[in-house]
């Protein structure tokens, strides 16, 4: 197997064609307890990170928004309220279990009318060119097999002037925080996963995939290489999470 | 934004939650706020350094630490200037004469200030939900009486203190007296200016006659 045909799945080197299936298995396994685990793992701070993403999105009434890897629909729910009846929000996820949980959750909240649910691969988005004012992908990009391909696909479906927001785990900006974060990720998270979701492997993968994800500057460069302009990022919680923003010229 | 984005966003979320919970008890205020829907007010505070974007919606008020779009009204100043505007009996005069720097349309801002200043919450509703109709109403009556007594006492204290400072101790002049004094000073300044220009005119005429 040549180097070009492999990618990482956590710390493991796997065939590119196998990664999507392996990631899918992880999310099939955690879908039902995804929200609970997010709250437990982050102490609820993931809601603040997502809120900041919504603020930076600049989404307004009448906008079309695509939430890729939208999972259980936290961002899509808020976007649906903001864009109103004249807007459109598409919640896309490659994983049908996650999409099912997200759709049930949003419908139970009474959100409908401007919401669409699409099972889609971020690398090959099934939408016409220049369809959206804003695209968000929260905690999803690191699971995508070919990130460059996905970024180019997002650029294609964005309208000129539209913005992409990538919310993703990143590299802590202090050595001390980095050590504490490592200890938390590799000791506490798998244990929490075993106790709450009865699945420690998925949370081991979570910790490993975060370490393998490009750091802040690398991801910004990747976005620029894909064709985005005015690329910048905001570190949150000491760089544990970073929000990258890029605009389609 | 100067403070950490996570902290800033968390503070905004907490304030927004508290404000909207309070607005749930004031349906009239919510209806009035809906009239300002889609207007965005930017509040830039210099001391302490803080930026808040406020957007009324049909569901309440949205507070944001960042906003990238059209701003209806932008106000810049120190926290004390904002506090003065919020509590002012004449907000328009405070906006003109105070330390706040204003950009954009002032009318929606004054309307927002008026709506929030006249916020009238129905405290009885959550009490009745918790304690039942009879007990809830009794508790609400007691709280209303206590609040009424507190308001009356504070108004009376302020009035008496005002009277003592101005009339009895004569520590500072009353407002009307002070305004009269300022008017006299202004009038005197104007008369001096007129006298000066008259003197200059006469001097020029004298120089012409001598020349």
Residue B9 sits in a domain whose CATH number is 3.30.1050.10
Nearest CA in chain A to B66: A55
Does any domain span residue A35?
yes
CA B35 to chain centroid, in Å, comes to 20
Q: Do residues B164 and B184 share a domain?
A: no
Q: Mutate one of B6, B58, B64, B71 to test the A interface: name it (highest A CB count within 10 A).
A: B6
Find out whether A136 and A68 touch, Cβ atoms under 8 Å: yes
In this prediction, residues B173-185 reach a mean pLDDT of 89
In this prediction, residues B46-50 reach a mean pLDDT of 83
Q: Do residues B164 and B208 share a domain?
A: no
Q: Do residues B51 and B134 share a domain?
A: no
Residue A15 has a pLDDT of 80
pLDDT band at A181 (very low <50, low <70, confident <90, very high): confident
Residue B174 has a pLDDT of 83
CA distance B124 to chain A (A): 28
Q: Do residues B141 and B53 share a domain?
A: no
pLDDT band at B201 (very low <50, low <70, confident <90, very high): very high
Q: Do residues B156 and B95 share a domain?
A: no
Q: Do residues B55 and B132 share a domain?
A: no
- Count of the separate structural domains present in chain A: 1
Convert the pLDDT of each residue in B79-91 to its tens digit: 888 888 877 777 7
Nearest CA in chain A to B56: A82
Residue A145 sits in a domain whose CATH number is 3.40.50.150
**What are the backbone angles phi and psi of residue A171, rounded to the nearest 5°?**
-105, 125
How many CB pairs below 8 Å do chains A and B form together?
Answer: 36
Q: Do residues B80 and B144 share a domain?
A: no
Does any domain span residue A64?
yes
Contact B6 A51 (CB under 8 A): no
pLDDT band at A2 (very low <50, low <70, confident <90, very high): very low
Q: Mutate one of A43, A44, A48 to test the B interface: name it (highest B CB count within 10 A).
A: A48
Host domain of residue A111:
3-173+204-247
Does any domain span residue A25?
yes
Q: Do residues B87 and B16 share a domain?
A: yes
How far apart CA B54 and CA B111 sit, in angstroms, is 14
- Measured at the CA of B185, the angle between CA B181 and CA B191, to 5 degrees, comes to 140
Identify the three-state secondary structure at position B158. helix
Does any domain span residue A10?
yes
Q: Do residues B112 and B13 share a domain?
A: yes
Convert the pLDDT of each residue in A15-62 to its tens digit: 877 777 777 777 777 777 777 777 888 888 899 999 999 999 989 889
> Which stretches of A140-220 are assigned E, i.e. beta strand?
158-169
How far apart CA A239 and CA B12 sit, in angstroms, is 20
Does any domain span residue A197?
no
Convert the pLDDT of each residue in B21-40 to its tens digit: 888 888 888 888 888 988 99
Phi-psi sector, A139: left (phi>0), alpha (psi -120 to 50), beta: left
Does any domain span residue A103?
yes
Q: What is the complex's ipTM, to 2 decimals?
A: 0.74
Host domain of residue B55:
5-117
Nearest to A51 among B9, B38, B67 (CB): B9
Residue A1 has a pLDDT of 42
Does any domain span residue A74?
yes
Does any domain span residue A42?
yes
Q: Is the pLDDT score of A3 beyond 60? A: no
Lowest mean pLDDT among A76-85, A197-206, B143-152, B153-162: A197-206
- Count of the separate structural domains present in chain B: 3
Q: Do residues B45 and B138 share a domain?
A: no
Contacts of A174 (CB under 8 A, 6+ apart): A238, A239
Q: Do residues B56 and B93 share a domain?
A: yes
The DSSP result for A199-240, as a single string, is -HHHHHHHHHHHHHS--HHHHHHHHHHHT-EEEEEEEEGGGT
């Amino acid at each position: 197997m040549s180097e070009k045909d492999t990618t990482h799945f956590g710390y493991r080197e796997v065939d590119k064609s196998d990664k999507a299936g392996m990631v899918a298995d992880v999310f099939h396994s955690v879908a039902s307890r995804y929200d609970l685990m997010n709250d437990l793992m982050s102490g609820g701070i993931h809601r603040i990170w997502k809120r900041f993403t919504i603020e930076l999105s600049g989404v307004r009434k009448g906008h079309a928004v695509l939430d890729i890897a939208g999972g259980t629909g936290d961002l899509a729910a808020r976007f649906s309220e903001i864009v109103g009846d004249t807007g459109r929000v598409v919640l896309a996820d490659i994983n049908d279990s996650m999409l099912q949980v997200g759709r049930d959750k949003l419908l139970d909240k009474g959100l409908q009318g401007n919401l669409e649910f699409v099972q889609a691969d971020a690398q090959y988005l099934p939408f016409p060119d220049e369809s959206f004012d804003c695209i968000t992908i929260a905690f999803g990009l690191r699971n995508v097999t070919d990130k460059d391909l996905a970024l180019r696909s997002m650029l294609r479906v964005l309208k000129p002037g539209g913005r992409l927001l990538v919310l993703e785990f990143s590299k802590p900006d202090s050595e001390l925080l980095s050590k504490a974060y490592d200890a938390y990720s590799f000791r506490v998270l798998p244990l929490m996963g075993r106790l709450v979701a009865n699945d420690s492997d998925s949370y081991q993968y979570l910790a490993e995939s975060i370490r393998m994800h490009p750091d802040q500057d690398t991801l910004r460069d990747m976005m620029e290489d894909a064709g985005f302009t005015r690329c910048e990022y905001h570190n949150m919680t000491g760089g544990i999470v970073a929000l990258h923003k890029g605009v389609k010229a | 934004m100067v403070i950490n984005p996570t902290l800033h966003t968390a503070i905004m979320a907490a304030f927004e939650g508290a404000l909207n919970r309070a607005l749930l008890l004031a349906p009239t205020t919510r209806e009035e706020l809906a009239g300002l829907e889609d207007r965005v007010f930017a509040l830039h505070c210099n001391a302490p350094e803080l930026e808040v974007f406020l957007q009324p919606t049909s569901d309440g008020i949205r507070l944001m630490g960042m906003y990238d779009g059209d701003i209806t009204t932008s106000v810049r100043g120190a926290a004390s200037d904002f506090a003065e505007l919020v509590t002012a009996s004449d907000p328009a005069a405070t906006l003109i004469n105070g330390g706040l720097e204003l950009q954009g349309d002032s009318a929606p801002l004054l309307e927002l200030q008026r709506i929030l200043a006249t916020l009238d919450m129905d405290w009885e509703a959550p009490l009745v939900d918790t304690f039942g109709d009879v007990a809830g109403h009794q508790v609400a009556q007691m709280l209303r009486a206590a609040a009424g007594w507190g308001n009356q006492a504070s108004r009376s204290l302020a009035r008496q203190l005002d009277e003592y400072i101005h009339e009895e101790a004569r520590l500072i002049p009353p407002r009307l007296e002070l305004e009269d004094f300022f008017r006299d000073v202004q009038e005197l300044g104007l008369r001096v200016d007129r006298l000066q220009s008259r003197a200059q005119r006469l001097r020029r005429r004298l120089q012409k006659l001598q020349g």
